[in-house]
Amino acid sequence: MVQLKKITLVLASVLPQWVYGAGLHASAVAKGKLYFGSATDNGELTDAAYLAQLSNTDDFGQITPGNAQKVSEANFPGFWRKTDCIQWDSIEPTQGTFSYTKGDVIADLAAKNGQKLRCHTLVWHSQLPNWVSSGTWTNETLIAAMKNHITNVVTHYKGKCYAWDVVNEALNEDGTYRTNIFYQTIGEAYLPIAFATAAAADPDVKLYYNDYNIESSGSKSTGAQQIIKLVQQYGAKIDGVGLQAHLIVGSTPSQSAQATNLAAFAALGVDIAYTELDIRMTLPSTAALLAQQSTDYKNTVAACVANTKCVGVTIWDYTDKYSWVPSVFSGQGAALPWDENLAKKPAYDGILSALGGTASAGTTTTAATVVTTTTTASSGTTTGVALYGQCGGSGWTGGTTCASGSCKVFNQWYSQCL
Ligand SMILES: O[C@@H]1[C@@H](O)[C@H](O[C@@H]2CO[C@@H](O[C@@H]3CO[C@@H](O[C@@H]4CO[C@@H](O)[C@H](O)[C@H]4O)[C@H](O)[C@H]3O)[C@H](O)[C@H]2O)OC[C@H]1O
């Protein structure tokens, strides 16, 4: 089966598109978009079948490092986190020392494949090292530290990124500013200062404000529009808004609701991108849920297609095998267009049809396989999986010591005793 898939991928890359039909990226480009893309993570790249599909530029013309240019401990308290990812607490774990190893791997992969790189992210309340989040700052010293961080990182990746998510998630749900160390110390000026600093370091890269729950009109979307106006009023460069679009099957905003929202952003003169699209469901998946998911993907991608300022869509990884969703939203998953076995789901055809393509023959129409892998803890150990996670603590490579329950493996980063 794996062998067959490999042969299919090789054939698809050498035969003309009319034999296999255009994939997601090729179809997006045919619709006037710049790309269709996927996020990825370093640990997944050792999976040869996964890497082959990620590198299939018929489907993916763009990649985003899901973690390699940042870090996240705050969202996952109690989980062990790899220390060599690249955000403030690994890119700059102590003030003034920078490390780019993981991010460079993904930047090099994008360059080798001829894929655009969306770089993510420079200023975010999450995944901050203690020296930033618990430091004693004045307005002046934190501005200097933030500018130094942005300048170093953007300069390092200069010429390699198509776009940077300069500030991520600065808003509360009601559209007010989220309280974080930057807002508390500097006030709203941290936003234009961050954009101006990034622009100075790489005048050619596109600079985005990125957030979730801004995919339809409402207080938070209005707040994001205010941020764009604020940065513009300061005279700093802001090129686009990123709609993360971590959506839910059956609750995804309609195409017309998304269109109205996109029009409001477009009226401000900025580009728009769907930057982290996934559409999760309560497990187990069923044929009905997969069909609804396909419709939800179709409506979302169609909204982008219909707006000339919307440049492209990125899914937050492409396969349920490596989705972040089950590790964060308990009991939910199956959020991506490829299932755990890297087979296309109905969502793939939903996206393709929004992009004007024709359905692919290989799409599975039945319920996806279970998203999480449960390993037994009867003897206190698991075998065969090289993972890091909570089950066995730091540096875990397969053993588990769950006091109760068994070790559920969510992806290559996380596991939990449930
Ligand atoms: O491996 C994972 C990474 O994949 C992960 O990447 C981040 C995921 O999304 C972005 O941040 C999250 C966005 O969603 C928020 O939850 C929302 C709460 O409201 C709901 O209505 C909505 O549906 C949800 O999406 C999370 O609280 C945010 O953290 C962020 O931009 C990505 O970098 O990062 C953690 C890694 O372990």
b (16+ CB within 10 A) / e for 37-58: bbbbbbbbbebebbebbbbbbb
The SS3 call for residue 131 is helix
| Residue 286 burial by Cβ neighbours in a 10 Å radius (0-12, 13-18, 19+) | middle
Ligand 1 contacts CB of residue 213 (under 6 A): yes
Whose C-alpha lies nearest to ligand 1, atom 15?
212
Residue 96: which pLDDT band, with cuts at 50, 70 and 90? confident
Determine the distance separating the centroid of ligand 1 and the alpha carbon of 349, expressed in angstroms: 25
Is there a contact between 311 and 271 (Cβ–Cβ < 8 Å)?
yes
Q: How far apart are CA 300 and CA 257, in angstroms?
A: 10
The alpha carbon of 312 and the centre of ligand 1 are apart by a number of angstroms equal to 19
Instruction: Compute the C-alpha angle 36/368/246, nearest 5°.
Output: 45
The model's confidence at residue 265, banded by pLDDT at 50, 70 and 90, is: very high
pLDDT of residue 108: 98
Q: Tens of pLDDT along 33-63? A: 999 999 999 999 999 999 999 999 999 999 9
| Helical H segments across 119-254, by residue range | 130-133, 139-156, 181-186, 190-201, 219-233
Name which residue sits closest to atom 12 of ligand 1, judged by CA. 212
pLDDT tens-digit profile of 20-34? Answer: 459 999 999 999 999
Q: What is the pLDDT of residue 406?
A: 59
Query: What is the whole-number distance in angstroms between the Cα of residue 364 and the centre of ligand 1?
Result: 27
pLDDT at 134: 87
Residue to substitute in 246, 282, 296, 315 for testing ligand 1 pocket (most ligand atoms within 8 angstroms of CB): 246
Dihedral angle computed from the Cα positions of residues 51, 53, 59 and 63, in that order, rounded to the nearest 10 degrees? -10
**What pLDDT, on the 0 to 100 scale, is given for residue 88?**
66
Distance 62 CA to ligand 1 centre (A): 20
Distance between CA 50 and CA 297 in Å, rounded? 21
- Strand segments, DSSP code E, in 250-328 are 271-282, 310-315
Nearest to 31 by CA among 303, 278, 262, 286: 303
pLDDT exceeds cutoff 80 at 131: yes
Answer whether residue 209 shows pLDDT above 90. yes
Model confidence over 166-206: pLDDT tens digits? 999 999 999 999 999 999 999 999 999 999 999 999 999 99
End-to-end CA distance of the chain: 32
pLDDT tens by residue, 221-261: 999 999 999 999 999 999 999 999 999 999 999 999 999 99
Contact criterion met (CB below 8 Å) for 354 and 305: yes
Q: Are strands 415-417 and 407-409 parallel, antiparallel or unpaired?
A: antiparallel
CB of 137 shorter than 6 A to ligand 1: no
Q: Across all residues in the chain, what is the average pLDDT? A: 83
Ligand 1 midpoint to CA 125 (Å) = 12
User: Could you tell me if 168 and 150 are in contact, meaning their C-beta atoms sit under 8 angstroms apart?
Assistant: no
Alpha-carbon distance values, 407 to 90, 375, 380 (Å): 27, 5, 10
The mean pLDDT of 335-364, rounded to a whole number, is 89
Say how far apart CA 107 and CA 328 lie, in whole Å.
26
Atom of ligand 1 nearest to the CA of 411: 1
Type of residue numbered 35: Y
For ligand 1, whether the C-beta of 67 sits within 6 Å is yes
Beta pairing, strands 271-282 & 240-243: parallel
251 lines ligand 1 (CB under 6 A): no
Token pair for 102:
């993981």
Structure token digits, residue 104: 């460079």
Closest CA to 272 of 296, 301, 300, 243: 243
Of 139, 185, 145, 191, give the one whose Cα is nearest residue 165: 191
Active site positions, annotated: 169, 276
Q: Among 262, 240, 246, which residue's Cα sits nearest to residue 316?
A: 246
In one letter, which amino acid is 248? I
Residue 51's pLDDT is what? 98
CA distance 76 to 65: 18
Helix (H, G, I), strand (E, B) or coil at 88: helix
